Structure 1
Amino acid sequence: MGALVVIVLLRFILYKISIGIRALGEHTKVIDTLGINVYEVRFVCVVLSGVLAWQHSILLI
């Protein structure tokens, strides 16, 4: 059940929010001109993906 919530939430963030992570990956100059720190958002995304991978590895043990 929790995985389904995460999937729905990530799909919403990637496709429905106008300035989502997907826009950051495709058009970094546009995001930068809007005043959003590209490096900070990328850092948060990498840390978040590491945390999710860590949680998954805990479930496998």
Structure 2
Amino acid sequence: MLDKQTRGAILLLRRKGHSLRRISRLLSLSRDSVRKVVRAGSDEPPIILRPRKLDAHP
């Protein structure tokens, strides 16, 4: 998972006009990771809610 600082750097570079490929090369990240952050548009990491294993049993 990417930290807030990295997400902020991605969004800043994108606002400056860099392409997704260029950002991924500069930060040594996959293009898919960069694309997800740009689509989300926020430097906050997503909250992933998963059911706990024990919740399924009564």
Same fold (TM over 0.5): no
Q: Which has the higher contact order (CA 8 A, sep 6+)?
A: 2
Q: Between Structure 1 and Structure 2, which shows a larger proportion of helix residues?
A: 1
Q: Normalization by structure 1: what TM-score?
A: 0.28
Q: Normalization by structure 2: what TM-score?
A: 0.29
